[in-house]
């Protein structure tokens, strides 16, 4: 029987941090050694989040900051921090190069410092570390993750989109054009106190944002190149949905005309083969997955349709942005890094249906 | 001062019929002579729809069916019927060829019987009438509508999309590819008693449907050809939003590379010029319109963005599917047909913001 | 034909101010002379609120503050300000005692300075004016309002509750106990940037607040005394609903046992008589009104039920908190003060059904 | 280590049946032997409910009906059937008197046949069995349940209300009056295809129903009598909330005037003592629990407030109607009946916060 993994969590009170705590509290081999939150310093999680099943007696208490000895007591550090903060945190606090780290933030997803600057607008402050981080998409980089010390957890949009594209690109298909229209629940924006995120602003509302270049494009084109060897410029438009959780990505690929009669069936087979050992991914040969099918789960459901009239392959990829798009995938990465069953702690069957 | 228009409404109890009644009750020159509903036969509208401001004393009463003399007493007939029913209704009941008709259903939007069969799956039963119906999109066919006897009210998706494309196509731009990702509120499906439309099914949910060929495509390609002279095959994918009302269409047009620096500004000018006499259309040069900006109004808001990196013009077009996409546009058409101010009865400032 | 009323609006950019502007833009006899907003100073309403039907050319522009001459040009001033601000505004700016004022805020609803201090926690700064304000509930104080210069627009909860109780108390019934459980949409809290009002906090949520003494109780007990002559201590508990707009008040009155067989019918008759000249109020003898029946309207719908087993009269009273509970009622008061038709500008038939 | 419990489920495709399957799939000692559904006969659960984590290979398949031998292979039968169907099912199919049964339906909650007829409108068809069923509210009847063969799972409203009242009544307090205003999510109505449950009907809506005598009253008064020895006639009014899941019960108890200064503190202590061994119940001394705190969990959160001015104790009790109000509580009962840890399989930390 495995020993417990001693874990530290930096930034444990946002939506992602909370989901991470919820999963780890049920995980057989996890021991949360400390978690930090400036907002809730010295409060217990039972007090702050009544939804967590906890008798309140030995409840975890948020620290304002981790101490030097805290870092010495753990096997794994999760970072749940806003852009530009993970690199500062590592620079200032992490002196043991062997401490395993999973960064759920966006600082280490881009490998090339110049590309980082292009998409994030500033210089990276520890660019020499970029190459040491493995891109933590288990269904694609499983073996690399198993051997890694540092993992950069993918963005929520890229997770849904790369899982939706990888089997196609791997199979040698070279679509003429890839156009992606993604829709995300409001939790994607975190707990920000801004008027657009008020209930009165989002209830019964919907709209596009960042249509002329969202940050996640850099990360997606980098990984597409690794998979296909090709330099795609993808056209990506995110939208905001009046739901709490979930991402639905509609991926439109123009393929050559004159495909064989069983083109769609072939694609479905390629996808099923590609994911045959990936329990969290499920292919819909008929029908289209829905956001309610994934809320509360670590799954990615992929629907495949082919519009022959316009030679468009339409791939619909759905995840829970806080789980497969953030905390769930982070735990999946942890399981791989520590030789555990990939689904340990991630068996949730979801909320709806 | 104008005289009142005597009006008959067939199918007055669905979402569209109800919106039509609400507008006409406030319209200065409207007199609803009769309205029918099998479901609510002999009930008053005040009883069925408490939201209608009505003292209940002289309230309109739903008839099960209109009588022969009913048709003789009216100047204008609105049809709010499901597919295949409008043609049957006209065939069986309308003998006065001069009676003005606005069909809010889908039976007379396609001009060519063969195309009708292709998209609707059955033969049209009065194909000789197809050519007599004017496509009732006032911002594009205003003069034709003024002189028409029969008007086919456009579909909700086509309204949002054609208004979003017309100025571009008219200006001589010939995009290489037009790909449209539309999202509609649940009222687009009417009051159908099916499990997917239950609150428990749609709350916090979202998904695509009909990805391999939605009926509205025929109507859109027909009108695009009239505007541009070109035979586009558009790629269209509708989705269902967890909102009651509203359509948001994201229209992606691939344009040639190497556009001039002020390309976007030029497009915005083209759109503003095109709609300068159309009070219900508003162009967003900066910013993106939202569904909540149009709910409860007869407006179409259009946002224009240009992603230079991928040479993609991104046009976002938003309407209330029950108003500009159905009953509101029908009254706009009525106003034109009877020489009234185009916005009479349609001054509503919406519900949200 | 009436002349136009020249109107000033202080605080025109909150939910209530916006609704007021929307109504007045469609009101036949209204001319908005100026409106102020610190947030949107120098912006046009067409720019800030795209939902307002406006060609953008002669659009109203928000002023940061009203000037001395502004106050000289108007016949009526609406105040849409947070607690404690209306009195300061009047004290500092209003020198013409004959200028008609409708305060949509809460500063002048309580007549007695001691009671004001009890419920609002501070001394009133112009207590001598309290007695000059008429409580603006038209269905009860219609004649007083017609002759008044100053009107205090009732709170949203009190509007729903007093309209639900007035006929009962007037009829001489003296319930042993009045217990009220009210539920309000989130817009009742205004556009406050606080975590509880985020979409992620309220979506699919519901809870009670202020259970040990909400401010609106003082106002309600004062008016109940005026109607019934009795000193009731009412037990009132507000709750927050995951809807944008609407209040549903469940009013439980314990009546004496042994009522006659036709007790409920008698109560229904009393209510119908009481409101026979009040177009916005509608009594449901059977069935229960719903929030969707009133959203977007100035109506108050009242359902009456009698649970004989426990001798409990259950009155359900429903309004749109931003209309009958705020801006709509304010315009209704304006109509009365200026001798207009009571429903002018308030004919909206609502959004849903 | 315990052996697995062999389980049969009748009616496994409704909201409650699905939740039950989800819990049992993760339960360490559960083996679902068969589950039935007429609607989904011969389909696998992986196919019908994509939200269930399942590789689809050895997926459970719905049977149309259970066979005679099926009943012989199980240790425990769950019934998830509509009113009047559980008794028919037992009468026709269950011949082994020792087979453990948990009825999640409403047929066996009332002990007295006359009372059953009063509240359910028909005669019970196997009245002799009523006395053999234990009322399955573990926090109150834990010891009885451990020894029972037949358990009647409580209704969702009664669960929230009885847990909210039990410590008060046990402590000897005798409130003069108990008035309860409950609000339930739409899933409480099941998957019924009726217009009031459409998304377009419930979105942004709210209303009361059954105000003159809801069936759950009989069950509540029966259990209140067992706890307190008193014959209360409680005044109960249910309402429908625009949320998928959750019940919020506001319980108003009039207590004698002149309570000691620390009255509320004493009540809070009584509640904390009463539930000190009940992990799923949590008392809020300050603050008010919210529906989002319990969605997806088996918890009951109870807030206690005292309005001294009106001598009203206000108890707010919140549960997830499908879990603590149905399937979760059923598994809690199963755990007790089979000597397992009470929380086995019920550790979920919920969806929101």
Residue B55: its pLDDT value, please? 72
- Locate A6 and state its tokens: 């001693």
Residues of C in contact with B56 (CB under 8 A): 282
Residue A2: its pLDDT value, please? 62
Residue C353: its pLDDT value, please? 58
pLDDT in tens, B248-303: 999 999 999 999 999 999 999 999 999 999 999 999 988 899 999 999 999 999 99
Residue C46: pLDDT over 90: no
Who among B26, B301, B348 is closest to C50 (CB)?
B301
pLDDT in tens, D258-305: 999 999 999 999 999 999 999 999 999 888 999 999 999 999 999 999
Dist CA A211 CA B287 (whole Å): 10
pLDDT in tens, C275-301: 999 999 999 988 899 999 999 999 999
Dist CA C103 CA C82 (whole Å): 11
User: Which residues have C-beta within 8 Å of that of residue B134, sequence separation ≥ 6?
Assistant: B141, B144, B145, B148, B150, B151, B152
Identify the CA nearest to B247 among candidates B351, B162, B318, B349. B318
Residue A139: its pLDDT value, please? 98
Annotated catalytic residue A80? no
Question: D332: helix, coil or strand?
Answer: helix
- Locate B110 and state its tokens: 């396609």
pLDDT band at C51 (very low <50, low <70, confident <90, very high): confident
Residue D63: its pLDDT value, please? 96
Residues of A in contact with D351 (CB under 8 A): 51, 245, 295-296, 351
Who among C18, C293, C347 is closest to B51 (CB)?
C293
Rg of chain A taking only CA atoms, in angstroms? 20
Question: H or E stretch including C68?
Answer: helix C68-72
Residue B46: pLDDT over 90: no
- Residues B219-223 have a mean pLDDT of 98
User: Which residues have C-beta within 8 Å of that of residue A172, sequence separation ≥ 6?
Assistant: none
- Locate B166 and state its tokens: 């017309």
- Is there a contact between C23 and C331 (Cβ–Cβ < 8 Å)? yes
Residues of B in contact with D203 (CB under 8 A): 186, 199, 203, 242-244
Least confident of A226-240, A332-346, B46-60, B301-315: B46-60
- Is there a contact between B127 and B157 (Cβ–Cβ < 8 Å)? no
Partnered with residue A315 across adjacent β-strands are: A251, A304
- Locate C214 and state its tokens: 């909400």
Is B186 in contact with D201 (Cβ distance < 8 A)? Answer: no
Instruction: Write the DSSP string, C283-310.
Output: EESSS---GGGTTTS--EEEEEEEEGGG
Answer whether D15 touches B (CB < 8 Å).
yes
pLDDT band at C2 (very low <50, low <70, confident <90, very high): low
Answer whether D295 touches A (CB < 8 Å).
yes
Least confident of A190-199, B235-244, D47-56: D47-56
User: Which residues have C-beta within 8 Å of that of residue B56, sequence separation ≥ 6?
Assistant: B44, B46, B47, C282
Query: Could you give phi then psi for residue C132, rounded to 5 degrees?
Result: -85, -10
Compute how many other C-beta atoms are within 10 angstroms of the C-beta atom of residue D162.
25
Answer whether D22 touches A (CB < 8 Å).
yes
Dist CA D39 CA D258 (whole Å): 59
Dist CA B193 CA D193 (whole Å): 6
Low-confidence stretches of chain D (pLDDT beneath 50): 1
Q: Bigger pLDDT: B58 or C48?
A: C48
Tell me which residue has tokens 């985020």: C198
Q: Is the dihedral of CA C98, C100, C105, C111 positive or negative?
A: positive
Q: Is the dihedral of CA A68, A69, A75, A77 positive or negative?
A: negative
Answer whether C18 touches B (CB < 8 Å).
yes
- Residues A166-180 have a mean pLDDT of 95
Residue B1: pLDDT over 60: no
> Which chains pack against A, by 3+ Cβ pairs within 8 A?
B, C, D
Dist CA D47 CA A287 (whole Å): 11
- Is there a contact between A74 and A8 (Cβ–Cβ < 8 Å)? yes
Residue A180 distance to chain D (closest CA, Å): 24
Q: Bigger pLDDT: C252 or B352?
A: C252
Query: Could you give phi then psi for residue D90, rounded to 5 degrees?
Result: -65, -45
Residue B53: pLDDT over 90: no
Identify the CA nearest to D295 among candidates D279, D316, D319, D317. D319
Select the residue from B187, B196, B197, B200 to test the D interface by mutation, using most D Cβ atoms within 10 A: B200
Dist CA C332 CA B234 (whole Å): 51
Dist CA D296 CA D350 (whole Å): 4
Residue C47: pLDDT over 90: no
Strands (E) in chain C, as ranges, are 5-10, 30-36, 76-79, 100-103, 133-135, 150-152, 177-184, 207-208, 235-240, 247-254, 281-284, 300-307, 312-319
pLDDT band at C307 (very low <50, low <70, confident <90, very high): very high
Residue C180: pLDDT over 70: yes
In chain D, whose CA is at the least distance from the CA of B187?
D200
Residue A353: its pLDDT value, please? 59
User: Which pTM value belongs to this model?
Assistant: 0.97
* Average pLDDT score, chain A: 95
pLDDT in tens, D156-207: 999 999 999 999 999 989 999 999 999 999 999 888 999 999 999 999 999 9
Residue B51 distance to chain A (closest CA, Å): 19
Share of chain B above pLDDT 90, in %: 90
Residue D51 distance to chain B (closest CA, Å): 13
Tell me which residue has tokens 């106190």: A193
Query: Could you give phi then psi for residue D336, rounded to 5 degrees?
Result: -65, -45
Who among C207, C245, C314 is closest to D248 (CB)?
C207
User: Which residues have C-beta within 8 Å of that of residue A76, sequence separation ≥ 6?
Assistant: A5, A6, A7, A8, A99, A100, A101, A102, A334, A337, A338
Tell me which residue has tokens 């809070």: D268
Secondary structure of chain A in HEC code, one letter for each residue: CCCCEEEEEECCCCHHHHHHHHHHHHCCCEEEEEEECCCCCCCEHHHHCCCCCCCCCCCCECECCCCHHHHHCCCEEEECCCCCHHHHHHHHHCCCCCCEEEECCCCCCCCCHHHHHHHHCCCCCCHHHHHHEEECCHHHHHHHHHCCCEEECCCHHHHHHHHHHHHHHHCCCCCCEEEEEEEECHHHHCCCCCHHHEHHHHCCCCEECCCCCCCHHHHHHHHHHHHHCCCCCCEEEEEECCCCCCEEEEEEEECCCCCCCCHHHHHHHHHHHHCCCCCCEEEECCCCCCHHHCCCCCCEEEEEEEEHHHCEEEEEEEECCCCCCCHHHHHHHHHHHCCCCCCCCCCCCCCCC
Select the residue from B48, B191, B195, B199 to test the D interface by mutation, using most D Cβ atoms within 10 A: B199
- Is there a contact between D293 and D282 (Cβ–Cβ < 8 Å)? no
Query: Could you give phi then psi for residue D314, rounded to 5 degrees?
Result: -115, 115
Partnered with residue A102 across adjacent β-strands are: A78, A151
Geometric angle at alpha carbon D286, from D283 and D287, rounded to 5°: 95
Q: Bigger pLDDT: B351 or B274?
A: B274
Identify the CA nearest to B329 among candidates B146, B102, B22, B37. B102
User: Which residues have C-beta within 8 Å of that of residue A93, sequence separation ≥ 6?
Assistant: A66, A71
Secondary structure of D53-106 in HEC code, one letter for each residue: CCCCCCCCECECCCCHHHHHCCCEEEECCCCCHHHHHHHHHCCCCCCEEEECCC
Dist CA B299 CA A257 (whole Å): 39
- Is there a contact between B217 and B250 (Cβ–Cβ < 8 Å)? no
Is A314 in contact with B246 (Cβ distance < 8 A)? Answer: no
Partnered with residue D178 across adjacent β-strands are: D253
């Amino acid at each position: 029987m495995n020993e417990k993994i001693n874990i530290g969590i930096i930034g444990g009170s946002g939506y992602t941090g909370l989901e991470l705590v919820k999963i780890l509290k049920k995980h057989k081999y996890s021991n949360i050694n400390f978690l930090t939150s400036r907002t809730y310093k010295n409060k217990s999680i039972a007090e702050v989040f009544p939804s967590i099943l906890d008798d309140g007696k030995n409840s975890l208490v948020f620290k304002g900051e981790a101490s030097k000895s805290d870092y010495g007591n753990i096997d794994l550090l999760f970072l749940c921090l806003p852009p530009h903060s993970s690199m500062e945190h590592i620079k200032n606090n992490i002196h043991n190069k062997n401490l395993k780290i999973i960064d759920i933030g966006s600082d280490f997803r881009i490998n090339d410092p110049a590309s980082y600057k292009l998409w994030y607008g500033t210089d990276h402050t520890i660019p020499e570390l970029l190459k040491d981080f493995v891109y933590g998409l288990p269904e694609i980089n499983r073996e690399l993750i198993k051997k890694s010390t540092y993992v950069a957890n993918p963005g929520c949009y890229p997770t849904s989109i790369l899982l939706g594209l990888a089997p196609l690109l791997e199979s040698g298909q070279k679509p003429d054009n890839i156009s992606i229209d993604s829709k995300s629940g409001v939790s994607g924006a975190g707990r920000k106190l801004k008027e657009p995120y008020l209930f009165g602003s989002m209830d019964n509302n919907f709209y596009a944002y960042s249509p002329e270049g969202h940050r996640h494009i850099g990360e997606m084109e980098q990984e597409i190149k690794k998979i296909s060897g090709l330099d795609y410029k993808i056209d990506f438009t995110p939208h905001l949905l009046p739901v709490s959780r979930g991402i639905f990505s509609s991926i439109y690929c123009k393929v050559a005309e004159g495909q064989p009669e069983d083109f769609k069936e072939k694609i479905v087979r390629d996808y099923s083969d590609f994911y045959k050992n990936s329990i969290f991914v499920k292919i819909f040969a008929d029908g289209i997955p829905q956001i309610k099918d994934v809320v509360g789960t670590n799954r990615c459901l992929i629907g495949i349709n082919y519009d022959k009239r316009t030679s468009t392959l339409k791939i619909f990829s759905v995840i829970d942005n806080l789980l497969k798009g953030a905390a769930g995938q982070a735990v999946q990465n942890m399981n791989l890094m520590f030789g555990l069953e990939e689904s340990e702690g991630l068996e949730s069957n979801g909320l709806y249906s």
